[in-house]
A and B are shown apart, each in its own frame.
Chain A
């Protein structure tokens, strides 16, 4: 992996407190300054290939295994793509139940990310010893809060599991709708849990704004800061941030954007291949190329919460909107600081709780009409798209006459952010390592620029 003028390579593996399998390398020259840095993804699983030949309605139960933290998003994106192939639209209640599950799955995920994966760096400090810089350390430092966090995350997970049967690797959504209607007592139970989660998310954001972010403003403004484009989903009617069904918006680094429909994604996104990682690099097709130069990146865009908050005109719910206004007056639009992902994540958590509450208060949510009774297999094509916690998810399938998959193209969140993560590592390494001096605290601070996305 060496460049010609590399005298020493620092190899950090695995990247920890993230969801996947990555490592990074920092190349130093003779005088100990950074010449280059790269993050590599270690595995190739081949989902796109091995769903070929499977009945399209079965793919939703296969691709949920792409990720155990966000299985719902793959499950639902797959159902949407299958709907397209089969030429059907789910009845409104089926669509709403899917969106509700989507929101309910977001809540524990965001709690998990913020408190378990990211918080140790902020609560204990990025240079605390590695052996205590983890959730157990957080339990030691703030035991009451930690108990509340574990409990809240668990409660929402279990409430969703009770309704949907399986929370990790769900089976409940089906092409053409949702597997069964929601009963009134289930609605009431879920509503109570969601109200509690909303209180908890407002508490979490206030807690972070008072106790966490101010302490690290310097780090936020110096580490992992570089201009890039952003991609996210908005509601077509008013540009509000949307998670489940809308249009895509691609913003350049100056804040100008284009908006397009899911099936047009190939006009806007191309993927570049490098021999030193298994993960491809999606980039803005209109830029004509991708350049991983952190001072002048070309074609690079990012996804996930900060990207969504940058591209949208407003939040879709009132409490979240108030928080967006505070955020924008402090950091502007678009904000390019990678560590602000942690802030944006909590604003989104509030919208998810508020939206779940809206859906549960919608009388239609308990309708019996949740799926089509019988769908004929056919040849077709569908693009299923939505926002996963880690960013925009695109599932694109084609089927034959028997409804078996003939082609599947998946552009997933970690891919969209591959370039961003690489640039973050490079920028942070260059800012923090001088004259060959570094320690585990410095390396961990660099790692925080990867962790912010939770790849």
Chain B
């Protein structure tokens, strides 16, 4: 029996749905797991069940699972409490490991975001910014950060959301007494069955306003690599694993759509924004011709000051 506490910070709840999508296996595992805290499913309150406590509290657990990055003071408080109360801390999902989509917000200042939301949007009757000093709401931070920028993280499970196979693998490893999980440091391309000729096809870089060439009746290994077809597929700089442990084609590629990098950088500290330039050059495209280069290359990994630093 292992006790588990789960929390979501600047999360969309997709990581939590991915936990549920373990499906029947989860039902079989349940007798060995004891969830002591998980707001999406259990009514455990921070300030006591009738709101009598002054300080935020989370019960002790062997394993702490946290999804979402840090965007406000409540996220940080919850994260620190989780670290304090859990022996092993898992960062679940690309928001927690690298900032994820919400870290695209780092391209704008917090004030610009508030100005649009509370005064400039076409339907909004202008009003004041939320006032965290007067009311019980958290202070919004200037940037979105990943968990390891604040506390020690023991296991990182990237993916937006992570494939349920990897969550299961982590839980099984923990039940087995292991405290780490080595994920493959390979790229999406390494698991992609498309045909590659190491040179580009005719034409320039394309946006998905165009349809790639493929025969829908034929399997994906009959399709020419999307990058070689001119689509900005981020497979070369994205960590493998999105199709789980079955070894089937990367999910987007299987649907004939280019990879957008949702598993984050191939390994810790890698910088897709730099590495991709090399990948494009290899097949003869001019990286300067990419539209919205920063928005593409940092789409899932804008924390760790990546977006602000590159500017």
Which residues of A are in contact with B by a Cβ distance under 8 Å?
1, 10-14, 16-21, 23, 25, 40, 42-46, 48-50, 52-55, 57-58, 61-62, 65-69, 71, 86, 112, 116, 130-131, 133-136, 139, 147, 150-151, 153-154, 157-158, 164-169, 171-172, 174-176, 179-181, 183, 265-266, 269-278, 280, 282, 368, 371-377, 396, 402-404, 407, 409, 411, 438-440, 443-444, 447
Contact = CB atoms under 8 A, between A and B. Distances in A.
A53 B209 contact: no
A44 B140 contact: yes
Interface of B: 8, 10-18, 20-21, 23-24, 26-27, 30, 35, 39-47, 49-51, 71-72, 74, 100-102, 104-105, 107-108, 110, 112-114, 116-118, 121-131, 134-138, 140, 160-161, 207-211, 214, 216-217, 251-252, 254-257, 260, 262, 291-292, 295-296, 299
A402 B116 CA distance: 23
Given A168-B161, A180-B255, A68 B123 contact: no
A43 to B, nearest CB: 6
B49 A65 contact: no
Contacts of B110: 46
25 contacts: A10-B50, A11-B51, A25-B136, A44-B114, A45-B105, A49-B116, A50-B108, A53-B292, A55-B207, A55-B295, A58-B292, A62-B104, A68-B15, A68-B17, A71-B14, A150-B23, A150-B24, A151-B24, A154-B21, A166-B252, A270-B125, A273-B126, A276-B135, A375-B209, A409-B123
A69 B13 contact: yes
Given A10-B51, A20-B13, A404-B292, A50 B45 contact: no
Closest 7 A-B residue pairs measured CB to CB?
A68-B14, A273-B127, A165-B255, A46-B113, A154-B23, A65-B101, A130-B43
A374 B128 contact: no
A381 B153 CA distance: 44
B252 A266 contact: no
B32 to A, nearest CB: 13
The prevalent SS among residues of B at the interface is: loop
B122 A396 contact: yes
B134 A1 contact: yes
Contacts of B135: 1, 40, 275-276
A352 B184 CA distance: 40
B257 A278 contact: no
B41 A134 contact: yes
B210 A375 contact: yes
A98 B39 CA distance: 32
A13 B46 contact: yes
A280 B217 contact: no
A132 B44 CA distance: 10
A68 B161 contact: yes
A61 to B, nearest CB: 6
Contacts of B10: 43, 45
A71 to B, nearest CB: 7
A43 B72 contact: yes
A27 B16 CA distance: 33
A16 B125 contact: no
Nearest to A442: B50
B256 A276 contact: no
